[in-house]
Amino acid sequence: MNENTVTDWRALLDGDHRALRGAVIGVAPAEWSRPTPCEDWSVTQVLQHAAGDQIGYAAPITDGPWPTEDPFAPSGHIDEDPLAYVDRALEISARAWTKVGDDAPEVPTPLPQGPMPAWLSAGACALDAAVHAWDIAVATGQRSPLSPGMARQLMIVATRIVPPLRGYGAYAPELDAGSDADDVTMLLCFLGRRPRERPITADHDRAAITCRVPAGHGGHAEAVPPRPGGPVDRQCRAVVGLLPPPGRGVARRGFE
């Protein structure tokens, strides 16, 4: 694999779609109301957001419908089987990407960056599915769905698309992963997420999380607790998809 691109983006996207589906399968009926790393959002709400993002990536490719529900204000109620719900969104996404050439130079996206090469636009879609699969898994005590190989490829994508999105509140500042961090930890910390070894079990667990902001994001290292409406709160509300521009609401058709 070229160190600067993802050469087999179809395999990456398929794997991350399967990771999201697998995380949903692993949620027990009583766990849908559990808190997640996305502040104030339950597992159900993260699923609604993730499914909406997949549809949002497909819409500009096919000129098809956009999500019927605002992905940034998920209701927390799904009136159907959760697996059927995510399967429908993943099918819409997967079908859209079959219309994209392997080396297409410009593919429309719902991101403020606009069109991107196929490998990068598909990678962004894959990153969205993967990171929300991780959110659901860690909230429900499942094993991380992120493999080292997956994380290495997603890191190539993340380093290209995430820095501009931080200004929109999509991601918290990069965390200090440490010199001995593995590939998965490096990816999560780059995305402003703190790797966890146990599921979130109560609100006080969320409140106890602090984000170690490395020097360069304010001149010195500082422990910053998440707060409602803060950057960590906003990061899951719009991770990599359908992110509204600063000061504006979510447009039904992306960034109009």
Render pLDDT for 96-116 as a digit per residue (tens, 0 to 9): 999 999 999 999 999 999 999
Residue 125 has pLDDT above 70, yes or no: yes
pLDDT tens-digit series, residues 11-56? 999 999 999 999 999 999 999 999 998 878 999 999 999 999 999 9
> Which residue has better confidence, 181 or 215?
181
Retrieve residue 16's tokens.
């991350």
> Which residue has better confidence, 197 or 187?
187
Residue 118 has pLDDT above 90, yes or no: yes
Q: How far is CA 110 from the centre of its chain?
A: 14
> Which residue has better confidence, 253 or 79?
79
Rounded to 5°, the CA angle 143-229-239 comes to: 45
- The helix/strand/coil state of 172 is coil
- Give yes or no for a contact between 154 and 119, defined as CB atoms under 8 angstroms apart: no
* Mean pLDDT of the chain, nearest integer: 81
- Tell me the whole-structure pTM to 2 decimals: 0.78
pLDDT computed for residue 171 by the predictor? 74
- The upper half-sphere exposure of residue 233, i.e. CA atoms within 13 Å in the direction of its Cβ, equals 10
Phi-psi region of 219 (alpha: psi -120 to 50; beta: other; left: phi over 0): left
pLDDT computed for residue 167 by the predictor? 83
Retrieve residue 197's tokens.
């070894």
Task: Kindly indicate the confidence band of residue 71, based on its pLDDT and cuts at 50, 70 and 90.
Answer: confident
pLDDT computed for residue 183 by the predictor? 96
Query: Alpha helices of 98-230 — where are they, by DSSP H?
Result: 118-139, 148-166, 183-190, 203-208
- Beta strands 211-213; 222-224: pairing state: antiparallel
> Which residue has better confidence, 139 or 243?
139
Which letter does DSSP use for residue 223 in this model?
A: E
What percent of the chain shows pLDDT beyond 70?
75
- The upper half-sphere exposure of residue 110, i.e. CA atoms within 13 Å in the direction of its Cβ, equals 30
Rounded to 5°, the CA angle 48-100-64 comes to: 45
pLDDT computed for residue 201 by the predictor? 56
- Give yes or no for a contact between 246 and 74, defined as CB atoms under 8 angstroms apart: no
Residue 70 has pLDDT above 50, yes or no: yes
Contacts of 135 (CB under 8 A, 6+ apart): 36, 37, 38, 46, 236
Residue 231 has pLDDT above 90, yes or no: no
84-93, 196-205, 221-230: range with lowest mean pLDDT: 221-230
d(CA 41, CA 233): 9
> Which residue has better confidence, 255 or 128?
128
- Residue 27 one-letter amino acid: V
- The helix/strand/coil state of 163 is helix
pLDDT computed for residue 3 by the predictor? 63
Q: What is the mean pLDDT of residues 119-137?
A: 97
Residue 217 has pLDDT above 70, yes or no: no
